[in-house]
Amino acid sequence: MTVAVAARAPAGIRHWLARYGWTVGVWLLLFLLIGWYATLIPSFGSFTIASIAKNSLPTVFLAIAQAVAVIAGGIDLGAGAMMVLANSVSARFMEGQAAGTTAVIAVGILAGAAILNGLVGWIIVRSRVPDIIVTLATLFVFSGVALMVLPAPGGGTSGGFRWIFTGSTSGIGTNFWPSLVALAVPTVLVALWLRRTSRGLSLYAVGSDPDAAYLSGVKTARAKITAYAVAGAFAALAGLAITAITATGDPRFTNASNGTLNSVAAVVLGGIALTGGVGSVVGAVAAGVILFVLYPILTAMSIDPNTAQVIRGVLIVAVMMAAGLLELRRRRTE
């Protein structure tokens, strides 16, 4: 008996497609939708691009946060609340401050969120209470704290801070480059970190097979805690983006719960297995933008908002079912 090591000839392409096929598909779907949107509205130009780019930032950052947690075999239901908390805290303390001060506050919030959510990860690891329960609790806790910091919508920020995310000190304009950079840079950095560094790969490892990861010498507890810390930072980044876009803080609970649900939808649509270890944040980013873009598209088609919600839900299920069928066919032929 000999062992066949070499697979069929185009193994490289096959492996690449098996891993990144979905990601490519989601990005194609996104460009298709944007192209379609361009034909739906009379004036598609830099203003529209800027609008899509900046307004999808919170969804995208939250999708990345959720993606990192899910890849590591967890789930962060508290992500939406962390976003609202960061939004509330930043709006409360950035109001009336100079650009430099707001930047310092922003960095502080990101660091604080990473530590706080890392602590959540530590609790999950040590207590062995399932992720979904602990983070369900943090969804309520963080939402409550946000309301304590900022009891009613309000607050503000500096023009400079608004420019970083929106390309304009007033939050409205046609300069879409800063928003695109704000979207692309964290995405690329976190994607490279996850796939190229041993610490990043340890997240995939604990999500894919915790036992094998442990036996091969991966510090599984550290990996899980890291995942939650990074997720916390990205959720907070989503909150900062809201502050920059709207120049207010909005501590209402529905923002938190909607944010969490959207992030889970983005992760699933983005091709990340809820069982962990499979998928790419790059796919989740495209899915996040898709979930946002659907609103203006359905509005442009003058579909009423309630029906639009139904369509969004049906679309998610339809895409997942189509993908499931494709996967089934692929397995049959192998």
DSSP states of 71-124: HTT---TTHHHHHHHHHHHHHHHHTT--HHHHHHHHHHHHHHHHHHHHHHHHHH
Structure-block tokens of residue 199: 């610490």
Q: Do the beta carbons of residue 217 and residue 287 sit within 8 Å?
A: no
By CB under 8 A, what part of segment 114-173 binds another protein?
none
Name the residue nearer to another protein (CB basis): 58 or 207.
207
Least CB distance from residue 214 to another protein, whole Å?
A: 6
**Interacting residue with another protein among 77, 182, 190, 205 (CB under 8 A):** 205
Residue 54's closest CA among 214, 246, 209? 246
Name the residue nearer to another protein (CB basis): 125 or 213.
213
d(CA 293, CA 37) in angstroms, rounded, equals: 9
Name the residue nearer to another protein (CB basis): 205 or 282.
205
Structure-block tokens of residue 313: 């839900």
261 is a contact residue toward another protein (CB under 8 A)? no
247 is a contact residue toward another protein (CB under 8 A)? no
The span of 42-50, 157-165, 182-190, 202-210 binding another protein (CB under 8 A) equals: 202-210
4 is a contact residue toward another protein (CB under 8 A)? yes
Number of residues in contact with another protein, rule: CB under 8 A? 33
**Interacting residue with another protein among 9, 128, 217, 305 (CB under 8 A):** 217
Which position has the token pair 């995208």?
Answer: 60
283 is a contact residue toward another protein (CB under 8 A)? no
216 is a contact residue toward another protein (CB under 8 A)? yes
19 is a contact residue toward another protein (CB under 8 A)? yes
Q: What is the largest CA-CA distance in the chain?
A: 76
Q: Backbone phi, then psi, for 261, in 5-degree steps?
A: -65, -40
9 is a contact residue toward another protein (CB under 8 A)? no
* 130: Cβ contacts below 8 Å, ≥ 6 apart: 124
- The binding site for another protein (CB under 8 A) comprises 1-7, 11-12, 15, 18-19, 195-198, 201-202, 204-205, 207-209, 212-219, 277-278
